[in-house]
Amino acid sequence: MTERPVDARIPGFYKLDLEARHAELRARFGLTDADLDVLANGAGLRWDRADKMIENCIGVFGLPVGLGLNLRINGVDRVVPMVVEEPSVVAAVSNMARVVRDAGGFTGDADPPIMIGQVQLLDAPDPEAAVAALLANRALILARANAVHPNMAARGAGARDLEVRRFDAPWPMIVLHLLIDCADAMGANAINAMAEGVAPLVESLTGGRVCLRILSNLADRRCARATCRVPVSLLDTPDHDGREVAAGIETAWKFADVCPYRAATHNKGVMNGIDAVAIATGNDWRSVEAGAHAFAARDGRYRSLTEWRVEGDVLVGRIELPMAVGTVGGSTQVHPTIQVLRKLLGVDSAGELGVVMAAVGLAQNMAALRALATEGIQRGHMALHARSVALAAGAEGELVDRIADDLVQRGEIKLHTAQAILQSLREADA
Ligand code: MEV
């Protein structure tokens, strides 16, 4: 485990070139030359290793890794690796984390790492008796589940409890939930193996027929939460009073709270940050996505994952969502880049990782709502997008920023304009 950085603020990090950023990582987080080599040029995952991860492998796909800065969570500084192709996501998190930091940082907590394994039971001759039999044989079923994974039980984790859900028309069935403590793993393999392991017992206890045996991605027993409390005076901008900004953020949240069309976009922004950390830490981001959106619809209407309210002179933001992530198992140990990024993040448990991800989601959402409720999203977005356009036009090295600046100044961030600028710069050089 790396030592905690004293300070997650690295002033001017974004202005440094790549070499200088790596020098900071070496000095502040003790990354070695070998670690930095893994990060450079997407060299981490070799294709012969990738070939062992999936089928029909033909290569390795690169994505940028950015470092989210300024986060202070429960009094601990964190720099957060984020893998994402969209400009402005890393900057947004870092900027809002800096504002929240000035207000004392985020607080957060996570539930115990309980996941749900589902066993679908059909054709029970007497459904009521079947439900009663499953509940009466709780200890036997849990023991059978834990026998599938004795190591897990030995580490103090494993199947803890069960519950039974009964569905009637139009599709009568009984569904057994195994509630499994997965410790610091996401747990998918163990959960599925346990669900499969108890199936014969479930059939013999009920006289029914088991069909599906699989985890649920609605991991609502394993939620993470984060909160921030920001005095409105910290939200002042050159063009807007902080109180106005805070009120705008609250109004933007209300829009997502009442309207699913807006909530989908609002939550997409939240997941911009959360997915980026999930990928950087080797977690199954599709699972986190599925859990988040199902949770957002838990009361029958799809709503915001966050809540923003102005309370007196303070803007209070909260987020809660399922966080089925692990710090051991899965691809966390297979991908060399992930191992280096984990050194930077330095979390000790899955619960801690979940809280970091929740705070990142809240920061991301705060940035989006602040921009949307004031100057609009396009100004900041387009300035960053200009670089991608310059790259797409064929610019390289220092020409990328030169052309991007030019595009922004012209207020015309278009591919053909970038191509024309590049052409004229090349002609001038020649
Ligand atoms: C873009 O990737 C995300 C936003 O649309 C989120 C939002 O609207 O809240 C800016």
pLDDT by residue (tens digit) across 151-188? 888 888 999 999 999 999 999 999 999 999 999 999 99
Whether the predicted pLDDT of 255 surpasses 90: yes
Asked whether residue 196 falls in the same domain as residue 257, the answer is no
Are 104 and 21 part of one and the same domain? Answer: yes
Q: What is the pLDDT of residue 332?
A: 67
Is the C-beta atom of 377 inside 6 A of ligand 1? yes
**What is the structure's pLDDT at 263?**
98
Residue 47 lies in a domain: yes
Copy the structure tokens of residue 292.
Answer: 């988040």
pLDDT recorded at residue 314: 98
Cα of 301 vs centre of ligand 1, distance in Å, is: 20
* Averaged pLDDT, 182-201: 96
Domain's final residue, options 335, 350, 375: 375
Q: Are residues 204 and 162 in the same domain?
A: yes
Q: What is the pLDDT of residue 2?
A: 46
Residue having the nearest C-alpha atom to atom 2 of ligand 1: 269
The closest-lying atom of ligand 1 relative to the alpha carbon of residue 377 is: 10
For a pocket test of ligand 1, which of 89, 250, 268 has the largest count of ligand atoms closer than 8 A to its C-beta? 268
| Separation between Cα atoms, residue 406 and residue 413, nearest integer Å | 9
**123 is an active site residue:** no
CB 368 less than 6 A from any atom of ligand 1: yes
Q: What is the pLDDT of residue 1?
A: 43
Residue 268 a catalytic site member: yes
What's the rounded Cα separation, in Å, for the pair 129 and 172? Answer: 14
| CA of residue 368 to ligand 1 center, whole Å | 6
CA of 411 to the centre of ligand 1 (A): 21
**C-alpha of residue 402 to centroid of ligand 1, in Å:** 27
2 lines ligand 1 (CB under 6 A): no
Rounded Cα gap, residues 168 and 202, in angstroms: 19
264 domain-assigned: yes
In terms of domains, do 193 and 163 share one?
A: yes
Tokens, residue 380: 């900041």
Give the residue-averaged pLDDT of 271-294: 97
- Do 243 and 364 fall within a single domain? yes
Q: Structurally, how many domains does the chain consist of?
A: 3
Alpha carbon 91 to chain centroid, angstroms: 16
Which pLDDT score, from 0 to 100, does residue 384 have? 77
Asked whether 143 lines ligand 1 (CB < 6 A), one says: no
DSSP tag of 333: G
Instruction: Clarify whether residues 227 and 327 are in a common domain.
Output: yes
- Tell me, yes or no, whether 302 and 351 share the same domain: yes
227 and 358 together in one domain: yes
pLDDT at 275 over 50: yes
Q: Which runs of consecutive H residues, i.e. helices, occur in 241-310?
A: 242-258, 260-280, 285-296
Of 86, 196, 203, 257, which is the active-site residue? Answer: 86
Q: Is 124 helix (H, G, I), strand (E, B) or coil?
A: coil
* 330 contacts 185 by C-beta, under 8 angstroms: yes
Q: Ligand 1: does its nearest atom lie under 6 Å from the Cβ of 264?
A: no
8 in any annotated domain: no
Among 169, 190, 215, the domain boundary falls at: 215
% of residues, the chain, pLDDT over 70: 98
Of 113, 181, 179, 186, the closest CA to residue 141 belongs to: 179
CA distance 325 to 287: 9
The domain spanning residue 301 has which CATH number?
A: 3.90.770.10
Q: For residues 95, 96, 97 and 100, what is the CA-based torsion angle, rounded to 10 degrees?
A: 130
* Ligand 1 midpoint to CA 89 (Å): 10
Out of 215, 250, 281, pick the residue that ends a domain.
Answer: 215
pTM summary value: 0.92
Mean pLDDT of 117-137: 98
Residue 5 lies in a domain: no
Classified as helix, coil or strand, 48 is helix
Identify whether 416 is a catalytic site residue: no
Res 278: pLDDT: 98
Separation between Cα atoms, residue 170 and residue 334, nearest integer Å: 44
Ligand 1, atom 6, lies closest to the CA of 269
**Residue 1 falls within a domain, yes or no?**
no
pLDDT class for 7, splitting at 50, 70, 90? confident
Ligand 1 in reach of 378 Cβ (< 6 A): no
> Among 86, 95, 265, which residue has the most ligand 1 atoms within 8 Å of its CB, making it the best to mutate?
265
Residue 26: Cβ-neighbour burial (10 angstroms; 0-12, 13-18, 19+):
middle
Are 208 and 124 in contact by the 8 Å Cβ rule? The answer is yes
Q: What CATH number has the domain bearing residue 416?
A: 1.10.8
Whole-number pLDDT of residue 43: 67
The reply to whether 307 belongs to the active site is no
pLDDT tens, residue by residue, 74-116: 999 999 999 999 989 999 999 999 999 999 999 999 999 999 9
From the CA of 272, give the closest atom in ligand 1: 2
Alpha helices in 44-184 (DSSP H): 47-53, 89-102, 127-136, 138-148, 150-154
Are residues 302 and 354 located together in one domain of the fold? Answer: yes
Read off the CATH number of the domain in which 136 is found.
3.30.70.420
Looking at residue 3, its pLDDT comes to 52
- 174 & 316 share domain: no
272 Cβ closer than 6 Å to some ligand 1 atom: yes
> Is there an atom of ligand 1 within 6 Å of 269 CB?
yes
What are the tens digits of pLDDT across the range 371-380?
999 988 877 7
Same domain, 174 and 279: no
* pLDDT for 252: 98
Q: Is 265 in the pocket of ligand 1 (CB under 6 A)?
A: yes
354 and 398 fall within a common domain: no
* pLDDT of the residue at 387: 87
The residue range of the domain holding 351 is 13-110+223-375
Residue 418 lies in a domain: yes
| Arithmetic mean of pLDDT, 243-267 | 98
CB atoms within 10 A of CB 167: 12
